[in-house]
Structure 1
Amino acid sequence: MSSDRELRARSLTLSEAVTDPLIDTIDPDNFTPRLLALLSNTLVWRESHELRRRFRLGTNDWRVISALAIRPGASATEVSDFLGLNKAVVSKSVNTLLRRDLVLLVDGPRGSRPMYLTRTGAEMHDAMLPISLRGQEIILADLSEDDVDRLNRLLRRMLEKTRELQTLENEALAAAENAPLPG
C-alpha cells in the first residue's frame, strides 16, 4: 500500500486537470437512463425511509416479503432471480425476516429450502403494501389507462432486451476467456 507521501508525489498538478466541460457529453435533462435512475432512486429512497420509520425494515426486506406473497415456497435463489437482486442482498434480508418471524424456511426436495410468509409476515405485507403502491401512484398520476398499458409494455420489452444483451455479453466474455492464447 502506498504511503500518503508517495501518493502526493504521484499526484498531478492542476495544470493537468481538465477544468472546462467537455464538448461531447450527455444532456442530463434528456438522457432517459439518467431520468429513469433518478426517478427510481427517489422512489426507493422515499419508500425505504417510510418502511424503516414505520416497520424497522428496508426496501430489500419489503421486496422479499412481496416476492413471497406472489410466489410462496420460492427458494432464496428463485427470489433473487425474480427480484433481480444479488443473492447476498436477498440472504441478508431473509435473515432479518427470519429473526422477526416474518418468514420461515422448510426442508424441501433435494436439499432445497422453500420459504413462506408466516401469518405475521402476511400481516406485515398488507401493512407495507400501501407504501409501495404510493410509488406506483406517483409514477402513474399523469397518465391515462392507455398510457399506463403502453408504458408497461415498453418497460417489459426494454427489460427483455437488456436481459438478452446481458446474455450475449456473458457468452462473448466466456468465449474470450476460453479462447487459446496467441503465439
Structure 2
Amino acid sequence: MSEPEIVTERDLSVRAESYAPYFLSLINNRLSWGASQLYLSLFDLGLNEWRILSALRNEPGIQALRVSEMVAMNKSVVSRSTRKLEEQGLAVARLVTGKRLLWLTKQGAKVHDEIIEIAYRREAALLDGLDETQRATLFDLLQRLADNLPKVEKLDRDLMHKTTETD
C-alpha cells in the first residue's frame, strides 16, 4: 500500500487577523480559559457556574430554561452546573405554582459579588487603552454582530438541509 500524498502549501486557510469568527473565538477562548482557571482556584466554581450566578443575580426566581436562554448554554449544562451550585449552598430551587424556580442564597450572592469585582478588573485590563468613544464603538459593533447571528443560524440550517437533500 502506498503512502498518501501530503499537502505542503501554506497559508491557505483562515487567519485570525482577517476572519472575524476565528478572531472572536481566539479572544473568547483565552478569556474563558483564564476566567475558568481563576474562578476554580479561588471559588471552586467554573465559568458555567459563574454565568448562572450572574443570571440569577440579574433575574432571581427564574426557571432553568430562562437561565439557558440568558447565558446561551445547553440545558443539560445548566442543570449540572445548577446542581453544583445547590450542593455548595449557593443556589436553591423551589417549586412555585408548579414551576421549579431558582434563586441565589445569601452566600451565593456574596460569592457572585466577589467574582464580579474580579470580572470587572479583568474587563478593565482587556479594554485598557480604549477611550470611552472607542469602548462605545466596540460595543456597538459587537451588538451588530450579535444582531446578525440569526442570519448565520439560518444559513447553517439551510446548508444542513441542502446537505441532507443530496445524501
Distance 1:28 1:130, change over 3 A: same
Match of 2:13 in 1: 25
Percent identity among equivalent residues?
Answer: 28
1: CA distance, partners of 2:27 / 2:93: 35
* Alpha-carbon distance in structure 2 between the residues aligned to 1:37 and 1:160: 17
- Distance in 1 between residues matched to 2:70 and 2:85, nearest whole Å: 18
Distance 2:130 2:94 in 1: 43
Deviations 1:46-76 (A, max 9, x none): 1111111111110100000011001111211
The residue number in structure 1 matching 2:33 is: 45
Shift of 1:154: 1.2
Aligned mate of 2:138, from 143, 148, 151: 151
Deviations along 1:85-140, one digit per CA (max 9) or x if unpaired, are 1111111110000001111111123x321111010100010111122223311321
| Contact kept in structure 1, 2:15 and 2:22, CA below 8 Å | no
Matched position secondary structure for 1:114: strand
Query: Residues 51 and 57 of structure 1 are in contact (CA less than 8 Å); yes or no, is this contact kept in structure 2?
Result: yes
Residue of structure 1 equivalent to 2:47 = 59
Match of 2:147 in 1: 160
Number of the residue aligned with 1:131: 118
The correspondence for 1:74, drawn from 48, 54, 62, is 62
TM-score (norm 2): 0.86
Say if 1:98 and 1:150 are closer, same or farther in 2 by CA, change over 3 A.
same
TM-score by length of 1: 0.79
Contact 2:14 2:22 in 1 (8 A): no
Distance of aligned partners of 1:96 and 1:25 in 2 relative to their CA distance in 1, 3 Å threshold: same
Match of 2:22 in 1: 34
- Matched to 1:146, the amino acid is T
Number of aligned residues: 165
Give the secondary structure class of the aligned counterpart of 1:65.
Answer: helix
Q: 1:28 to 1:155 in 2, by over 3 A?
A: closer
| Consecutive unaligned residues in structure 2, runs of 5 or more | none
- Uncovered stretches (5+) of structure 1, i.e. residues with no partner: 1-11
Q: Which residue of 1 aligns with 2:102?
A: 115
